[in-house]
Amino acid sequence: MSEWMSLLAWGDAGWGDEMVRGALWTLVLATVAFALGVAIGSLGATAKLSSLPPARWLGQGYTTVIRGVPDLLVIYLLFFGGNQAVMAIARGLFGYDGYIELNAFTIGAIALGTVSGAYSTEVIRGAVLAVPRGQIEAARACGMSGWLLFRRIMVPQVARYALPGLGNVWQLTLKDTSLISIVGLVEIMRSASIASGSTQKPFVFYLSAAVLYLCLTAGSNRVFGLAELWANRGVRRA
């Protein structure tokens, strides 16, 4: 036990502060990627529910491709193709011929946001379809405008139906942050890998990484549970 305490000590004597810093980067990356995924998912759900066939085909193609390939492959494609795409845009629009490299956090946020967006699309689409049609018809009968109907009827109802599914998407996004270690971002897994390689004590640090992930997921479950209680306030359960 004393050896574990010395290895996980705070400061230059141990790796405790590096592991905690990695956990903070994991949380920040997951939050940014999840928010991006919800935004993409909202657009994707709108496309899949659109009356325009091209929009539906685009939304269907996006969710099919992203959910059909491994998350790690998406990260690799964006890591190696993202820099080239940015340089091509800079060259074509601004005439800049220099080298541009996206940092690991940006690549990770875009990659995980793209992946979580595909799953969020289906969650939000299902939530929209779950809203009773009678409520929409009643709102229109009362003379509500499209914006007022969206704000007072659709958004609260969709949020209530979508929260459980979005909670699962958040947990997937949180765990997928471990894949971003391959592009150099020092999150939990990267911190554990560096520490275990330096000390030759992999069990200590990978077990510590597991504990940190469990703490984050347990806290996330609590937050989403409270959010569901808030969204369902005033709703009578059968």
**97 domain residue, yes or no:** yes
Maximum mean pLDDT: which of 28-32, 94-98, 106-110: 28-32
**Is 238 inside any structural domain?**
no
End-to-end CA distance of the chain: 51
Q: Look up residue 233 and give its DSSP letter.
A: T
Q: Percent helix, strand and coil across the chain, each rounded to 5? A: 80, 0, 20
To the nearest whole number, what is the mean pLDDT of the chain? 87
* 32 within a domain of the structure (yes/no): yes
CATH of the domain at 195: 1.10.3720.10
CB atoms within 10 A of CB 102: 17
Q: How many domains in the chain? A: 1
Does residue 236 form part of some domain?
no
Look at 11 and 64; give whichever has higher pLDDT.
Answer: 64
Position 59, amino acid: G
Which residues, 6 or more positions from 108, have their beta carbon under 8 angstroms from its beta carbon? 29, 33, 75, 177, 180, 183, 185
The Cα 158–Cα 72 span in angstroms is 31
Q: What is the pLDDT of residue 4?
A: 67
pTM above 0.95, yes or no: no
DSSP character at residue 237: P
In this structure, of 10-19, 37-46, 109-118, the range with the lowest mean pLDDT score is 10-19
pLDDT band at 219 (very low <50, low <70, confident <90, very high): very high
Asked whether residue 237 is domain-assigned, the answer is no
Nearest to 20 by CA among 132, 11, 102, 226: 11
User: What's the token pair of residue 160?
Assistant: 């209530």
Residue 156 lies in a domain: yes
What confidence score (pLDDT) does residue 3 get?
Answer: 67
**In this structure, are residues 119 and 169 in contact, taking their beta carbons and an 8 Å threshold?**
yes
| Helix-helix angle 53-68:104-130, to 10 degrees | 120
Residue 24: domain span? 2-231
Residue 72 belongs to a domain: yes
Q: What is the pLDDT of residues 108-133, one digit of tens each?
A: 999 999 999 999 999 999 999 988 88
